[in-house]
Amino acid sequence: MSQSEPEKPVLFSAERLSRYYGDFGALREVDLTVKEGEIVGLIGENGAGKSTLLKMIAGVEQPTAGQMFMQGRPYSCRTPLDANVQGVGMVFQEQALIRNLTVAQNIFLGREDHFRRHGVISWQRMNAAAARALAAIGMGSIPPEKKIWDLNFASRQMVEIAKVFDIVSTANPGESSLILLDEPTSVLNEAECQLLFQETRRLRDEGHAIIFVSHRLNEVLALTDRIYVFKDGTGAGEVKTQEADAQILYRMMVGHATTGQYYKTERQNLREPEVALRVRDISLKGIFREVTFDLHQGEVLGLCGVEGSGNEAVCSVICGDASPSSGTLEVAGTTFTSFANPAEALRYGILSIPKERREEGVIGILSIAENMIMSNLKAACSAGVLSNRRVSQIAREWVGKLRIKCGQVSDRIMRLSGGNAQKVVFARAMISKARILVLNHPTRGVDVGSKEEIYTLIRDMTNLGVAVIILGDTLDEYIGLSSRLLVMKDGQAIRSFDCPPDAKPEQVEIIKYMM
């Protein structure tokens, strides 16, 4: 957009929008404006607040504070349907189509009434209407009577856009709509991306507005008119795309570097020569390929990468939750092509602390004590007989050591706060005597105080020689905790950084390789 061009009217704006979950602010006081006929990009690290913002605009979640306006009028929506009626539609990150229904049935899902006469739906008229809806976004080539599972990913994405666009434009004929695209390119190849971009631009030229979220900076730079940068749940600034380049954006995205003291870097180990785990050329078809590294005793290895880079899948393979399609793992002098399950991995000293604590980390209806002992029941057995007194004794010991705030160790763990529950999980890891720990977002949903205690725990364990692989919440955390960083992008480990306590790399250096 050049300066001489007349200023376009504002379609949507948000003022001081916030979303809190308890004390945790996923989004804090964010401002945003989108004009008619404009493509706005949102970028930021994982968890910077982009998706939260989109969800609030689309009516999936409600803001806890702040206001939104659509065409100058106050705007609020309780449900996605509510948002659609007011001219806002969101294309979700995970494809939300029903695969065994046809294109037309998906586009008009929940709106079949228009095609019903005497209780019978006319598929013919529905297909014709679907063809019109597809033609409206230039996708007349997709046959409406085809089933979704017969389409490639790009066409599916276009059907989804056609669906959202049709819902929004039927509800508001002749008016400009706001379409939200959350990572629409993550499943597309290069040619499919170009097609998507072409159609997105066409929608813009017709006067509609689009908000585009992507991890890929080059796409954001190529497609958008203006870019908002997010970090740690707040807006870190906006730039016109033509004035921006990758370097500028990297600098805006990275957060403040916290002092080494916060991450107890003074207790970081020097690399020990003994290798705890040798990973050789492991691949998981379609997710990651030929990842190779050595994990040394007592080190913290950060596996960083944006969502979909494959770092999570590498962790699932190492802890026995998934089987790689090729490659080997060598631990304790034994070489494996894969572990049968996490139980087998644990026999060789590998344990994972999962990301979704409520679903995978703890067993909510069991007691604190049972949750602690579950990875090593043998510790409370003598001659094969389990002593419940011993279980409680061990649990009380660790409750004291880790200063876990709880009533009785026989209380259900679901009564504990996030931080205390996570400390129980760490107690379990220590009781398990695992020598290799895979920590998947160990500080997620944990209050600040407990976070620091968890960092201390990680140092305690590594000082005892435990090797740790970590997936962090922020780049700052990655750099602060790790003694070495492995950057993954599009399924490959592309670069490794040494992070000695006195010479930690800058965030900007690393984010370059991630995006």
Please report whether residue 421 would count as binding another protein according to CB under 8 A. Answer: yes
DSSP one-letter code for 148: G
- Paired tokens of 346: 């644990």
Helix (H, G, I), strand (E, B) or coil at 221: helix
Phi-psi region at 228: left, alpha or beta (left = phi > 0; alpha = psi -120 to 50): beta
Provide, rounded to whole angstroms, the least separation between the CB of residue 33 and another protein: 32
130 binds another protein (CB under 8 A): no
Contact 514, 305 (CB under 8 A): yes
Contact flag: residue 445 with another protein (CB under 8 A)? yes
Phi–psi pair at 495, nearest 5 degrees? -160, 145
Torsion-angle region of 310 (φ positive above 0: left; ψ -120 to 50: alpha; else: beta): left
For another protein, the binding residue among 365, 407, 449, 502 (CB under 8 A) is 365
In the complex, the smallest distance separating the C-beta of residue 418 from another protein, rounded to whole angstroms, is 4
Residue 350 near residue 331 (C-beta atoms within 8 A)? yes
Q: Exposed/middle/buried for 146, CB within 10 Å: 0-12, 13-18, 19+?
A: middle
Nearest 10 degrees: Cα torsion 324, 468, 486, 308: 50
Task: Report the residue number, 330 or 360, with the smaller CB distance to another protein.
Answer: 360
Q: Give the nearest distance from C-beta 373 to another protein in angstroms.
A: 8
Q: Which of 88, 103, 318, 413 binds another protein (CB under 8 A)?
A: 413
Return the number of the residue (242 or 341) whose C-beta is nearest another protein: 341
Give the chain's largest Cα–Cα span.
85
Nearer to another protein (CB atom), residue 241 or residue 375:
375
- Of 216 and 433, the one with the shorter C-beta distance to another protein is 433
CB of 371 to another protein, least distance (A): 8
What values do phi and psi take at 467, rounded to 5? Answer: -95, 140
**C-alpha–C-alpha distance, residues 197 and 218, integer Å:** 12
Q: Per-residue DSSP letters for 40-96?
A: EEEE-STTSSHHHHHHHHTTSS--SEEEEEETTEE---SSHHHHHHTTEEEE-SS--
Q: Is 188 left (phi over 0), alpha (psi -120 to 50) or beta?
A: beta
Residue choice 418, 465, 501, 505 for contact with another protein (CB under 8 A): 418
Residues 48/515, Cβ–Cβ less than 8 Å:
no
Among 81, 270, 363, 508, binds another protein (CB under 8 A): 363
Q: Which two tokens stand for residue 300?
A: 């913290």
Question: Does 329 participate in binding another protein (rule CB under 8 A)?
Answer: no
Stretch that binds another protein, among 74-82, 240-248, 286-294, 364-372 (CB under 8 A): 364-372
| Residue 332 lies near another protein (rule: CB under 8 A) | no
Does the protein bind another protein through residue 194 (CB under 8 A)? no
> What is the distance of C-alpha 229 from the center of its chain?
17
Smallest distance from another protein to CB 384, Å: 7
Query: In terms of CB distance, is 279 or 373 closer to another protein?
Result: 373
Residue 99 CB, nearest distance to another protein (Å)? 21
Looking at the Cβ atoms of 210 and 429, the one nearer to another protein is: 429
Q: How far is the CB of 417 from another protein (least distance, A)?
A: 6
Shortest Å, Cβ 126 to another protein: 35
Of 19, 231, 357, 441, the residue at the interface with another protein (CB under 8 A) is 357
Q: Of 461, 108, 493, which is closest to residue 300 (Cα–Cα)?
A: 461
Q: Which of 268, 432, 474, 507 binds another protein (CB under 8 A)?
A: 432
Nearer to another protein, 15 or 411 (CB): 411
Q: Return the range that interacts with another protein (CB under 8 A); candidates 40-48, 137-145, 168-176, 349-357.
A: 349-357
Window contacting another protein (CB under 8 A); options: 3-11, 173-181, 342-350, 479-487: 342-350
Residue 143 pairs in a beta bridge with none
Nearest-angstrom CA–CA distance, 432 and 415: 23
Residue 392 CB coordination number (10 Å): 20
**Quick one: 22 or 174, whose CB is closer to another protein?**
22
Does 428 help bind another protein (rule: CB under 8 A)?
Answer: yes
Q: Are 325 and 283 in contact (CB under 8 A)?
A: yes
Strands 178-182 and 88-91: parallel
Among 341, 393, 408, 463, binds another protein (CB under 8 A): 341
Report which residue type is found at 54: L
The whole-angstrom separation of Cα 58 and Cα 267 is 46
**Would you say 185 or 432 has its CB closer to another protein?**
432
Q: Does 415 bind another protein (CB under 8 A)?
A: yes
Residues 2-41, interacting with another protein (CB under 8 A): 21-22, 24
Closest distance to another protein from the beta carbon of 449 (Å): 14
Nearer to another protein, 127 or 375 (CB): 375
Give residues 367-406 in contact with another protein (rule: CB under 8 A): 370, 373-375, 377-378, 381, 384-388
Residues that bind another protein (CB under 8 A): 21-22, 24, 319, 321, 341-343, 345-346, 351-352, 354, 357-366, 370, 373-375, 377-378, 381, 384-388, 413-418, 421, 428, 432, 445
